[in-house]
Structure 1
């Protein structure tokens, strides 16, 4: 048995053996006595293992472990690993982590579409809308349908203008399609500004209700910034207005997902907002594509600032004509009197 510091400590803590009944005397042979007398005088007599405490027994068992076989360890260290290609299969990488080698018998029928099915299942679980209230889901989709309708109508008008012959298309003339295009795009910009303002106002309602706690200015700021960004887009040219609203919808979606993660909104609000934002973003892209297809065929659509300027110019021209008429009438009256 190896002598270590732990074993000596355990041996010292062991009390002397309890009194036991006298065992039958046994006198070893002379050669045994002479051979073991020196070791017996120096080694204490250990009591049986059942009389030791659990800690003392563990220390003694560890001390009884034999020496390490250095030769075997050296042989294992310099041993070269041999490859076994026959054990590598298409499914060997998914074996149990506790097995040393793969099972040589690979399954004959391997489902190659299993990974694809798993990916589709993951996507389906990620975009699961089962937790979204049915009323909110249906009304939310109905709310973005007018926005999508304006985009589809813009693309259709652009198609009619591009495919018109001598000013006439399949169902609409080029002039009618252009007038309808001028009418639709401001509607889309105005409706997009309304949607942005509504999404910001949702955070005010959540703060009033105390959903997820009261957060004060942090949540109120979301409802204030959204309409502040949406309102100026009404005065921009239609292309710049749509691009600005696209960026605003994207940033607001990121803010809403962060709010859902922090518990400021219901857990389903993030995926719900993703679906609606995706539809609105796709609608804006469609409108920009349709507008780009007819950029060289129609005049620039005047924005709100241009329309206000035209109204002002028209009013000034009408006033000047009226003043000229009044002056001419006075001159005629003066000539009659003379």
Structure 2
């Protein structure tokens, strides 16, 4: 009997030790490998079950897992967003790149718009001087009359230079036709070289505002024609962006000039229109004929 009791106790202890080892392995894998007590030293108690211990630690584990997953996703979104911005910036840079433009053409082209920009800035400043003189009685550097005189001197320079540039842009297509760039097009390409100066030079006879507006439209039309030619292989591929940059600078200068002149539209002395100039020319011719006839009559009277 004593032997049977000892055997039964040994079997129960073996089963208890096996259950304790299984519980410890499960808890160590799921609950951050927390140290557990041995069932041999501390027998298992019903009140401190492994499920209760796991339930106590589970919210902390879940929160940490959620934070780790969220932070990794946020990092990936930031990286993707920055990559998208860099890609868009690269696209914009490549679109407006002038790297393929010959250095000589780029340097001379940029130098060619300097007179336009200079006259535009001077027009804006002189317009401010004229307006300030009308309000305060005197300008900052120049008097109102001096500023107005200088402004009238700048007008034919800006309009005349614009006519020269328009004629030059039209003549480029004659050179492309002679070189056979993109094939021979004949009168279709020669027309650009004829229309440009035909529109540009008559603007010298118009009032300044109308002349500048007409030249602005002419520059825009020529840019469209040049961009179309570059797209269809009738001009170098870089010519489209090259013309866009130069046309943008010239167009901005014309707009600035018009805005500056608009500020003094009620102060500036009205200039002579083409009609006034023609009337003055007819009057002078008529006066000269009358003087010639008066001299002849005087000579006839002297002879008699």
Per the normalisation by structure 1, the TM-score is 0.62
1:186 to 123, 135, 156: 156
CA–CA distance in 2 between the matches of 1:303 and 1:188?
17
C-alpha RMSD of matched pairs (Å): 2.8
1:292 to 245, 262, 278: 262
* Secondary structure in structure 1 of the residue aligned to 2:89: helix
* Secondary structure in structure 2 of the residue aligned to 1:213: coil
| Number of aligned residue pairs | 233
1:135 alignment counterpart: 104
1:164 to 133, 144, 162: 133
- Residue 121 of structure 1 and its aligned partner are, at CA, apart by 2.0
CA–CA distance in 2 between the matches of 1:145 and 1:233?
21
CA distances 1:123-154 after superposition (whole Å, capped 9, x unpaired): 11101101000000111111111111111111
- Residue 263 of structure 1 and its aligned partner are, at CA, apart by 0.7
**Does the CA-based 8 Å contact 1:167-1:175 persist in structure 2?**
no
Where do 5+ consecutive residues of structure 2 fail to align?
1-68
Matched, 1:154 2:154: no
1:52 alignment counterpart: none
- Residue 270 of structure 1 and its aligned partner are, at CA, apart by 0.3
Matched, 1:277 2:244: no
1:34 alignment counterpart: none
Matched, 1:119 2:88: yes
1:168–1:320: structure 2 CA closer, same or farther, 3 Å change rule? farther
1:267 alignment counterpart: 237
Per the normalisation by structure 2, the TM-score is 0.68
Flag the structure with higher helix content: 2
1:103–1:190: structure 2 CA closer, same or farther, 3 Å change rule? same
Matched, 1:106 2:73: yes
Where do 5+ consecutive residues of structure 1 fail to align?
1-101
1:195 to 156, 165, 174: 165
1:210 alignment counterpart: 180
1:237 alignment counterpart: 207
